[in-house]
């Protein structure tokens, strides 16, 4: 009797394991992305042609995250991997990723981005991307004229935080810029067409719709930030350099070389916030709130938890713009 029970359990386990298989064996086509925001672009362009696997778990800090063996092994069923190209964990683990699946095709989304902190002068790319959008849609050039007017005020400016990126190297947070998002959308579309040429027309149509959506978000963010009475914000980790460059606001990071600020740094930040009359303090969901809460109490600035790693890319961008504009915005403190 006991032997029969054991045999039944073994058969049940084997059946369950087979049912959970994905990838080539199940006929499912999988694309892996390293961070959640990229999933929005892939799903929006590819539709249901691919299943998107996201490596970085929700709430994880991409600066210190290390993948578990099961997460690495999940790449064995992926036919492609889309990476940021500037994240430390990607560089540290890429050789291991490729060992798991040597046939996996890789797209580095930073390849056509002018990276802040790379030693090159940052430039405004939104206007070029919007022109391509209008070419796709065959619309008039009214939108371009609007952005050309804005370009006169923002061209050549570099509104990065005063200390640069916390790690002294390339800033990887380019996905937060709608201007760079236009470039990402084009690159992802070309990549998907290479993987699945038969869906060329579908992907091009979805790209046109996505470009239109990104331009709408850009217009909303531009108008919203322009109305902000104070265009200086504090943020724990400097993730808004690209948005600051594009829309003319300054971010001040209170992270101290990648670590929590010292008491001396905290005093300096409190004095700076009072002098500059800073009304908004941002902190990403994955970081410790305590220092940000102290700054908020001492300065009266509103503490707002943001999520640049949100898989809903439009939501992540718009919530920041609204928070900069007003303490009474739809984005409220979530202490």
CB contact at 8 A, 313 and 180 = no
Q: Among 127, 126, 322, which Cα is nearest to 227's? A: 322
3-state secondary structure of 237: coil
Q: Tell me, what's the pLDDT at 257? A: 66
Residues of the chain with pLDDT below 70 are 1-26, 118-168, 256-257, 326-335
Q: Tell me, what's the pLDDT at 168? A: 57
Phi then psi dihedrals of residue 183, to 5 deg:
-70, -45
Q: Tell me, what's the pLDDT at 235? A: 93
Its sign, for the CA torsion 85, 32, 175, 190, is positive
- Count of residues in the chain: 335
Q: Among 333, 311, 330, which Cα is nearest to 40's? A: 311
Q: Tell me, what's the pLDDT at 254? A: 84
Q: Classify residue 328 by burial, with Cβ atoms within 10 Å: 0-12, 13-18, 19+.
A: exposed
Q: Taking the mean position of all CA atoms in its chain, how far away is CA 75?
A: 21
Q: Among 53, 8, 16, which Cα is nearest to 35's? A: 53
What's the half-sphere exposure (Cβ side, CA atoms, 13 Å) at 304?
Answer: 28
User: Which residue reads 């109305």 in tokens?
Assistant: 227
Q: Classify residue 107 by burial, with Cβ atoms within 10 Å: 0-12, 13-18, 19+.
A: buried
* Dist CA 287 CA 235 (whole Å): 11
Beta strands in 7-49 (DSSP E): 30-33
pLDDT in tens, 21-78: 344 455 799 999 999 999 999 999 999 999 999 999 998 988 889 999 999 999 999 9
Using alpha carbons only, what angle is made at residue 155 by residues 153 and 158, rounded to the nearest 5 degrees? 105
CB contact at 8 A, 270 and 292 = no
Q: Among 84, 48, 53, 313, which Cα is nearest to 196's? A: 48
* Dist CA 283 CA 303 (whole Å): 8
- Inter-CA distances, 256 with 47, 166, 273, 310, 328, Å: 42, 7, 16, 25, 30
User: Which residue reads 């691919």 in tokens?
Assistant: 50
How many beta carbons lie within 10 A of that of residue 332, not counting itself?
12
Q: Taking the mean position of all CA atoms in its chain, how far away is CA 82?
A: 13
Q: Classify residue 151 by burial, with Cβ atoms within 10 Å: 0-12, 13-18, 19+.
A: middle
Report CA Rg, the chain: 22
* Dist CA 154 CA 273 (whole Å): 25
């Amino acid at each position: 009797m006991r032997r029969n029970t054991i045999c039944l359990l073994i058969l049940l386990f084997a059946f369950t394991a087979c049912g959970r298989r994905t990838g080539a064996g199940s006929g499912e086509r999988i694309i892996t992305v390293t961070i959640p925001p990229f999933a929005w672009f892939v799903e929006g362009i590819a539709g249901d042609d691919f299943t998107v696997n996201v490596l970085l778990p929700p709430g994880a800090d991409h600066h210190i995250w290390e993948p578990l063996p099961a997460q690495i092994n999940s790449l064995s069923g992926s036919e492609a991997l889309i990476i940021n190209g500037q994240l430390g964990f990607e560089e540290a683990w890429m050789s291991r990723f490729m060992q798991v699946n040597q046939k996996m095709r890789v797209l580095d989304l930073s390849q056509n981005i002018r990276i802040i902190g790379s030693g090159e002068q940052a430039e405004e790319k939104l206007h070029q991307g919007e022109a391509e959008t209008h070419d796709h849609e065959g619309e008039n050039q009214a939108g371009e004229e609007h952005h050309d007017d804005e370009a006169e005020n923002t061209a050549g400016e570099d509104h990065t935080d005063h200390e640069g990126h916390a790690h002294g190297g390339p800033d990887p947070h380019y996905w937060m810029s709608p201007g760079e998002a236009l470039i990402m959308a084009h690159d992802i579309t070309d990549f998907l067409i290479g993987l699945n040429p038969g869906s060329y027309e579908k992907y091009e149509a979805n790209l046109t719709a996505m470009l239109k959506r990104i331009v709408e978000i850009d217009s909303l963010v531009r108008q919203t930030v322009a109305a902000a009475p104070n265009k200086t914000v504090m943020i724990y980790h400097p993730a808004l350099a690209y948005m600051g460059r594009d829309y003319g606001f300054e971010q001040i990071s209170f992270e101290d070389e990648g670590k929590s600020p010292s008491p001396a740094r905290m005093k300096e930040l409190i004095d700076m916030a009072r002098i500059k009359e800073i009304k908004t303090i941002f902190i990403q969901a994955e970081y410790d709130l305590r220092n940000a809460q102290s700054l908020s109490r001492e300065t009266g600035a509103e503490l707002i938890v943001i999520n640049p790693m949100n898989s809903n890319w439009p939501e992540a961008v718009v919530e920041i713009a609204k928070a900069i504009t007003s303490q009474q915005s739809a984005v409220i403190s979530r202490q």
